[in-house]
A and B are shown apart, each in its own frame.
Chain A
Amino acid sequence: MISLRHILAIVRKELLQLRRDRLTFGMIVMIPLIQLVLFGYAINTEVRHIPAAVVDQSNTGVSRALIQMVEATQVVRFEQRYITIEEAERAIVRADVRAALIIPADVSQRLVRNPAISGRFSPGGQDPTARPVAQWIADGSDTLVAGAIRSLRGMPLGELFREATNTPVPTFEVSLFYNPEQRTVVNIVPGLVGIILTMTMIMFTAAAIVRETERGNIEMLITTPIRPVELMIGKIIPFVGIGLIQVFIILGLGWALFSVTIAGSVWTLLVVTLLFILASLSLGLVISTFAKNQLQAMQMTVFILLPSILLSGFMFPYEGMPEGAQAIADLLPVTHFMRIIRGVVLRDAGIGDIVPDAVWLLGFSLLGLAVASLRFKKRLD
């Protein structure tokens, strides 16, 4: 029924065309390379050196010591000094600084009563007159910045008095598995495999069929005895190889530049990556049967790519999203892949741990292939 000869004829033709298409060839290599370097260095959810201002109304040794201590945390970097609070507020509006520390004139008295040090002065309990020693105003529109400033709320102050901090015994002990140094890039690199494959695999296949239409080749093709499913399979096979090359580039560079190693089995990785590549390719084929030209194919790819980046768990944890968003995310192949690849690369997950997502990807691929083949009509109307 399905002719291997026909499929191979399409594969050979695609490879020949690809070899002569410098631009696409370049994109195959450059997209993973550039994206990896960009995302790897730029995305950092751990915020440091936020530009800040200080309004020191006290201007004493204590206030200067406080400023030094705050700066020593590396969360902020004081770039401006203002006399009045209004000036500081305007600087935040202009985004010259993202936050401002306002140290009141009575900072010394406040310090004495502060519970962080009060143990020294009144062991009997909290001083009812205790007030925070100083005030932060911050640009709350960026939640990451706001969160970083907030983390300074409970900053230990013991050092001000040249003493060991009186940190209480923690309620919980926390052991971080798999990424003990808490480097964002460890989570980013395997995730990028999913994002880059989503982008390139969908885009290349979608364009592959649309190009035949745009250049008129389709009229010749549908006059031959080729079957739609043969055409579809032949179109995706070359891109499976290309997808694997890209995975190799991303994980290889991830290891070389960011020391992200593969904890799990390389074979498991190969199987799940192949499944995901197939799912993305068949999605691209479905798109190609809707798009009338390459621009439309590109727009539809972006339409899939955006939720893939935002909802798949690549940027934000899947578990933190509302149910509606999770439901949408579950429709995207990349969400399933994101879980699998992080499991395999970072946590040494075996085949058994990833079966449900792997089966889902396989089902999606077959469904996509069937839909694309059924939708592709060997007619011009």
Chain B
Amino acid sequence: MSATVAETFGLSRTFGAKTAVDKVDLTIQKGTVYGLLGPNGSGKTTAMRMLTGLLRPSGGHAVVLGTRLPGNPEPLKRRIGYMTQGFTHYRDLTVTENLHFVADIHDFSRSEKRQRINELLEIYDLDAQANMLAGAMSGGQRQRLALAATVLHGPELLFLDEPTSAVDPETRRNFWEQLFDLVEAGTTIIVSTHLMDEAERCHRIAILDHGQKRADGTPHDLMEQVAGRVFEVSGTNLRPISRTLANGADILSVSQIGARLRVLVSKTAENPQAAVEVALRGISDTISQPTRPNLEDVFVLATRNPVR
């Protein structure tokens, strides 16, 4: 659990005037699941494309499995797997045809190929769909095919770009079980997501926003860091209270969760509890109490406080 498999140093990428990834430093340890958490357009895909050698960085560099990028990424392509954001295998080929194609490109011999494909069909529960066109399958089945095709050659490092955006929670849970099986076998996984529950499963995450890294660490540590700044407010007639609170000094965000308001207080507040109470002054029948932060709070706090 100590060897670094991938590291970036001020990695940046611009498209014309637009900066998609802005001086990002990441360190990814072997045998972990590393999450890139960020909203749409935060630069997750661009970062992955640079790490897989598909895009040249406009600034900084990365070292992936000992290969320096920008450089020659070709030898790297036998050692990494990249599951793209959309389904980019062939929709007009069947499951086995797609897998045969990938196996051929990775120089499997005839017998190795047959054995490996049977194994994958079983692991990823695709036996019944073996002869189905990929385009005719459900999102979950397609996602399992994509994962099977991506891990077919046994990559040491796996890149998964928003792998579960298009599938239901049940499928997502099974998918993550399969990821941890891969990790157990020694694979390192870099996964991007905009879903908090998914990020929470990662060993470490980096929060990206507008191409910048806003925070990184284990989900647990990140949540600890914001402890004491998250409050739950309950009372009657929550909507006007919510509007009043939102205008309060040092109050970063207010969101209603059922019969309660979840209030985040900025890092700049000396006494967060006081900040909430000041904002609530004059409104009767309200109870405010600190609560356990979750990853969403971390995310909101990290992205609302400008880093630079």
Of the residues B55, B82, B93, B133, contact of A381 by C-beta under 8 Å = B55
B84 at the interface (CB under 8 A from A): yes
Q: Which of A203-232 contact B (CB under 8 A)?
A: 215-220, 222-226
When distances are taken between beta carbons in the complex, the residues of chain A under 8 Å from B87 are 216
A20 at the interface (CB under 8 A from B): yes
Whole-angstrom CA separation of A365 from B54 in the bound complex: 29
**Which of A217, A219, A220, A380 has the most CB atoms of chain B within a 10 A radius of its CB?**
A220
Q: 13 A-B contacts, Cβ less than 8 Å apart?
A: A6-B105, A6-B107, A12-B101, A13-B93, A21-B92, A215-B91, A217-B89, A222-B54, A223-B81, A225-B74, A225-B107, A378-B54, A380-B55
Of the residues A217, A226, A378, A379, contact of B90 by C-beta under 8 Å = A217
Q: Which of A333-348 contact B (CB under 8 A)?
A: none
When distances are taken between beta carbons in the complex, the residues of chain B under 8 Å from A12 are 100-101, 104
Given A6-B105, A13-B101, A225-B78, the answer on whether A219 and B54 have CB atoms closer than 8 Å is yes
Whole-angstrom CA separation of A381 from B14 in the bound complex: 11
CB pair B89 A220 closer than 8 Å: yes
CB pair A16 B93 closer than 8 Å: yes
B304 at the interface (CB under 8 A from A): no
B77 at the interface (CB under 8 A from A): yes
Question: Whole-angstrom distance from the CB of A315 to the nearest CB of chain B?
Answer: 39
A9 at the interface (CB under 8 A from B): yes
A3 at the interface (CB under 8 A from B): yes
When distances are taken between beta carbons in the complex, the residues of chain B under 8 Å from A379 are 53-56
Q: List the B residue with the shortest CB-CB distance to A6.
A: B105
B102 at the interface (CB under 8 A from A): yes
CB pair B84 A17 closer than 8 Å: no
B97 at the interface (CB under 8 A from A): yes
Apart from A9-B100, A20-B133, A225-B78, what 6 extra A-B contacts exist at CB < 8 Å? A13-B97, A13-B101, A219-B84, A219-B88, A225-B106, A226-B105
B41 at the interface (CB under 8 A from A): no
A8 at the interface (CB under 8 A from B): yes
CB pair B93 A224 closer than 8 Å: no
B203 at the interface (CB under 8 A from A): no
Q: Mark B63-98, 1 if CB is under 8 A from A, else 0.
A: 000000000001001101110101111111100010
A5 at the interface (CB under 8 A from B): yes
Residues of A within 8 A of B (CB): 3, 5-6, 8-9, 12-13, 16-17, 20-21, 215-220, 222-226, 378-381
CB pair A20 B92 closer than 8 Å: yes
Q: List the B residue with the shortest CB-CB distance to A21.
A: B92
CB pair B107 A224 closer than 8 Å: no
When distances are taken between beta carbons in the complex, the residues of chain A under 8 Å from B49 are 380
CB pair A220 B104 closer than 8 Å: no
Question: Whole-angstrom distance from the CB of A254 to the nearest CB of chain B?
Answer: 34
Whole-angstrom CA separation of A381 from B49 in the bound complex: 10
CB pair A378 B74 closer than 8 Å: yes
When distances are taken between beta carbons in the complex, the residues of chain A under 8 Å from B100 are 9, 12
Question: Whole-angstrom distance from the CB of A20 to the nearest CB of chain B?
Answer: 5
B187 at the interface (CB under 8 A from A): no
Whole-angstrom CA separation of A215 from B74 in the bound complex: 23
Given A5-B104, A380-B55, A381-B55, the answer on whether A16 and B88 have CB atoms closer than 8 Å is no
Question: Whole-angstrom distance from the CB of B210 to the nearest CB of chain A?
Answer: 20
B52 at the interface (CB under 8 A from A): yes
When distances are taken between beta carbons in the complex, the residues of chain A under 8 Å from B80 are 223
Question: Whole-angstrom distance from the CB of B78 to the nearest CB of chain A?
Answer: 5
Question: Whole-angstrom distance from the CB of B156 to the nearest CB of chain A?
Answer: 14
Whole-angstrom CA separation of A13 from B49 in the bound complex: 25
CB pair B56 A17 closer than 8 Å: no
Given A9-B101, A12-B101, the answer on whether A220 and B84 have CB atoms closer than 8 Å is yes
When distances are taken between beta carbons in the complex, the residues of chain A under 8 Å from B52 are 223
Question: Whole-angstrom distance from the CB of B286 to the nearest CB of chain A?
Answer: 52
When distances are taken between beta carbons in the complex, the residues of chain B under 8 Å from A381 are 55-56
Of the residues A6, A216, A222, A380, contact of B104 by C-beta under 8 Å = A6
Whole-angstrom CA separation of A16 from B133 in the bound complex: 11
Of the residues B84, B97, B106, B133, contact of A224 by C-beta under 8 Å = B106
When distances are taken between beta carbons in the complex, the residues of chain A under 8 Å from B90 are 13, 17, 217
CB pair A9 B105 closer than 8 Å: yes
Q: List the A residue with the shortest CB-CB distance to B80.
A: A223
When distances are taken between beta carbons in the complex, the residues of chain A under 8 Å from B91 are 215
**Which of B55, B74, B90 has the most CB atoms of chain A within a 10 A radius of its CB?**
B90
When distances are taken between beta carbons in the complex, the residues of chain A under 8 Å from B101 are 9, 12-13
Question: Whole-angstrom distance from the CB of B245 to the nearest CB of chain A?
Answer: 45
Question: Whole-angstrom distance from the CB of B24 to the nearest CB of chain A?
Answer: 18
Question: Whole-angstrom distance from the CB of A116 to the nearest CB of chain B?
Answer: 72
Q: List the B residue with the shortest CB-CB distance to A216.
A: B88
